[in-house]
Structure 1
Amino acid sequence: MLILNAADVRQALPMTLAVEAMKQAFAAFSDGKALVPPRIHLPIAPHAGVSLIMPSFVDAASTAEQALAVKVVSLFDGNQARGLARLQAAVVVLEPDTGRPIALLDGAMLTAIRTAAASGAATDLLARRDCRTLALFGVGVQARAHLEAMCSVRPIDTICVFSRTPSQVAEFVECAARVLDPSGTRIIVAESPQQALADADIVCCTTTSKTPIFDNADLKPGVHLNAVGSYTPQAREVPPETVRRALVVVDSRQAAWEQAGDLTQPLQAGLIDREHIHAELGELVLGRRPGRSDDQQITFFKSVGLAVQDAVAARVAMENAARLKLGQVVAW
């Protein structure tokens, strides 16, 4: 069995490769070639945690192109006090034609990359080609991954970041400066959401907020939004007025209506109906639905995360790891 730790996964799954992998994953999903059962929620109440079990199988013309994997991802609120990340995860990859376990990957790193890569794929398909200014809400793992994803699909030269936890902003800026071209990119720390959005062409929401994090009136025409922070009906990051006027694309219609508070709450309020979702991202990849209609249109990609992303990302990471001779092989 191949073991890929976080560093191995990071090296084996560069963002540009991950973005293309996510286009493949969503195309397979929208084309009916991916089996993605509802994820199992296992509350761990005594420890203020929850574990999610996410299996997926992706069919293809050959066994080598198929993907079969199961991710177990856990979120424990008390981990930070113990010096641990809130999110803990592992991905088990199985041989598609035998079910034999063949790899174990660090799931936290895989999740960070594939989530941002999905937004990267959506941005590539929906954002204006001339986008250069990025607004980031949040300064955590997903903010960092989204910064990389956005820079991989558009020539970003200005990043404006806003966080309600200013103590973490300096660390984010320092980390971002290490991966960006200092001569061609500037980082601005915004003092308010309004300042962050003033010139934004692309907006990425990566927070754990339960309520909208900016005002609809502060968005300029033609902006593209990605929102990944909320994945329950009780949480949302985007104002309902923005949802109502935007062209909305999701990873999965069913999952969005079940889990995305950014959509379910405006639906319950009567601001939108179930036809308001324009397309699944995979339908754009397949050319079955159009994307942006003009440069003034606001586009919005809402994702809650699908197991098919993990299966495809893990397969691609394994293939690249073999080429680069990464990881450890243990007897099984």
Structure 2
Amino acid sequence: MLIITRQDLAELVPMRVAIALMKQVFIELSAGCVTVPLRVPIEVPEAEGTTLIMPAYVPAVSGLGLKVVSVFPRNREQGLPTIHAAVLAVDPTTGAPSALLDGTYLTALRTGAASGAATDLLARPDSRILLCIGAGAQGPTQAWAVCSVRPIERIYVYDRQPAAAASFAERFHRLAPEIQAEVIAVTDLPAAVREADVICTATTSREPVFDDADLKPGVHINAIGAFTPEMQEIPIATVQRAYVVVDHVEAALAEAGDLLKALHAGAITPEHIRVELGHVAAQQAPGRQSADQVTLFKSVGNAVQDVIVAAHAVRAAQERGRGLEVDLSR
């Protein structure tokens, strides 16, 4: 079995490749050509954390496996990452474990890449200003992906923890040294929202992180942080007036607090949540329909994303002699 580290992944799966993989796998997902049970969340109340078990099978790329990911917000108090994860790849011809991959970086990479794919399909082509709300582990890869598909000149960063916002620029430029966008930590969030052409939210908030009235006409929003029914990042008014695209309708209706709270308030009907990113990527549903339209990509994350990246990484590692080979039977 191969052990594939963060550094291996960074070299084997560049962001632009990851974005292309996301478009491919979301098309497969929307076409019903994958097997992906709803993920199993395990709450750990004493630590205010959640561990998620996420299996999937993507026949088109011979991808089979599962991810175990934990989101423990209180880790910040101890100087530890909020998210820890591991991905186990399984050989679909024998059922034998084929690789264990660093899931923490893979999660950030594929989540950023999903937002990159959504931004490419939905954001205005002339988008220049990006706002990242939430400067944790997901933030820099969100920015990296958006900058990979739009000519972003300025990145505003806001976080309730000033230290996280302050360190964002260094972490971002370490990931993507080729991108020359200016990174600015901000404290006046409403002012930044009013300027932003693209907004990425990556928090564990249980209430909206901005006011709908502050949004610029034509803004595109990638909402990737609220992944349980109790969480919420996006105002109900924004959900109500936006063109909503989700990663997977079934998962969104089960887990996406941003959408479920709007449904429960009677602001929208289930018909409002019917377009998947795979439909847009396959040109089975429209993308942006006007310059002033507000577009919202709501993602709760899907194991097919992890499996397709893992399958690509394993093949690339085998071809290039990367990774550490271990024999678990010894």
Which one-letter code corresponds to 2:8 in the other structure?
Answer: D
Q: Please, which of 256, 271, 274 is the counterpart of residue 270 of structure 2?
A: 274
Name 1:30's counterpart in structure 2: 30
| Whole-angstrom CA distance in 2 between matches of 1:44 and 1:99 | 31
Residues in 2 aligned to 1:279 and 1:326: alpha-carbon distance in whole angstroms:
39
Structure 2 CA distance for aligned equivalents of residues 101 and 7 of structure 1: 21
Give ranges in structure 1 of 5+ residues lacking alignment.
none
Counterpart CA distance in 1 for 2:181 and 2:189 is 21
Contact preservation (8 Å) 1:73, 1:107: yes
Deviation at 1:321, TM superposition (A): 2.2
Please name the residue that 1:53 is paired with: 53
Trace 1:145-156 onto structure 2 (pairs within 5 A).
Answer: 145-156=141-152
TM-score, normalising length: structure 2? 0.94
Say if 1:243 and 1:263, in contact at 8 Å, map to a contact too.
Answer: yes
Give the drift of 1:322. 2.6
User: Which of 272, 296, 321 is the matching residue for 2:292?
Assistant: 296
> Partners of 1:78 and 1:291 in 2: how far apart?
38
Displacement of 1:67 in angstroms is 0.8
Opposite residue 260 of structure 1, the aligned amino acid is A
Please report how far the alpha carbon of residue 160 of structure 1 lies from its aligned counterpart in structure 2 after TM superposition: 1.2
SS in 2 for 1:102: strand
Superposition deviation, residue 164 in structure 1: 1.6
Cα distance in 1 for residues equivalent to 2:155 and 2:73 = 29
- CA shift, 1:99, in A, is 0.8
Instruction: Give runs of aligned pairs for residues 307-322 of structure 1, distance below 5 A.
Output: 307-322=303-318
Offset of residue 47 of structure 1? 4.8
Q: Give the distance between the partners of 1:306 and 1:218, measured in 2 at CA.
A: 30
Distance 1:85 1:161 in 2: 18
| Letter matched to residue 214 of structure 2 | D
Counterparts of 2:274 and 2:44 in 1: how far apart (Å)? Answer: 36
The alpha-carbon deviation at position 299 of structure 1 amounts to 0.4
The Cα RMSD (Å) is 1.7
Task: Tell me, in whole angstroms, the C-alpha distance in 1 between the residues paired with 2:186 and 2:73.
Answer: 28
Cα displacement string for residues 261-313 of structure 1 (whole angstroms, at most 9, x for unaligned residues): 11000111111110112510111111111111111111000000111111111
In structure 1, give the amino acid aligned to 2:54: M
The alpha-carbon distance between structure 1 residues 239 and 11, as it changes in their structure 2 partners (threshold 3 A), is same
In the aligned structure 2, how far is the partner of 1:217 from the partner of 1:76? 32
1:204 shift after superposition: 0.5
User: Which of residues 104, 108, 114 in structure 2 aligns to 1:108?
Assistant: 104
Note the alpha carbon deviations across 1:249-270, whole angstroms, 9 max, x for none.
0001111111111100011111
- Contact 2:83 2:137 (8 Å CA) reproduced: no
Task: Name 2:156's counterpart in structure 1.
Answer: 160
Distance across 1 between alignment mates of 2:25 and 2:310: 11
Number of aligned residue pairs: give it: 327
